[in-house]
Amino acid sequence: MKLTRDTGAALMAVAAIVIVVGLGFWKTRGPGSQRLIRADEKRIQSIGQLAGQINYYFGQHSQKLPASLNEEQKQASRDPLTGRPLEYTASAGSKFTLCTDFSTQSPEDYKDIPYEFWQHPQGHKCFEFEAGGQIPQVPYFYF
């Protein structure tokens, strides 16, 4: 078979497409990794929302923290992959913690203000809050 100009151009186009798709998967780390990243983003949103609800409860109940999460809060804060609710612990005074397990390390964007509070390693991480205080701004994710 003789290699014509058209055949050469077609082979070059196929090679370019393969390279672009390969670089895309390399840069985004593939669909499986993206699923884990999106699950971590949902975990952060759940923590921010639940912290706001606990703050509201604190203000409405004579500056007292709830002893535990109610069933509605447990349902709303379920982990997107494991189905477990967030771990809530009321500490002395008005401090409380919300903990979960992250699938990936937080992105580099979280090192900058205003998201530095939300930095997390891969694995277990607890966030400590002061009831009645300001909840740090939760990153906005596009879903």
pLDDT at 69 over 80: yes
Q: Residue 85's pLDDT band (boundaries 50, 70, 90)?
A: very high
pTM over 0.75: yes
Q: For residue range 24-55, what is the model confidence (pLDDT) as tens digits?
A: 766 666 777 888 989 999 999 999 999 999 99
CA distances (Å), origin 125, targets 30, 84, 97, 118, 122: 25, 15, 10, 10, 8
Element (DSSP H or E) covering residue 89: strand 87-90
Domain range annotation of the chain? 35-130
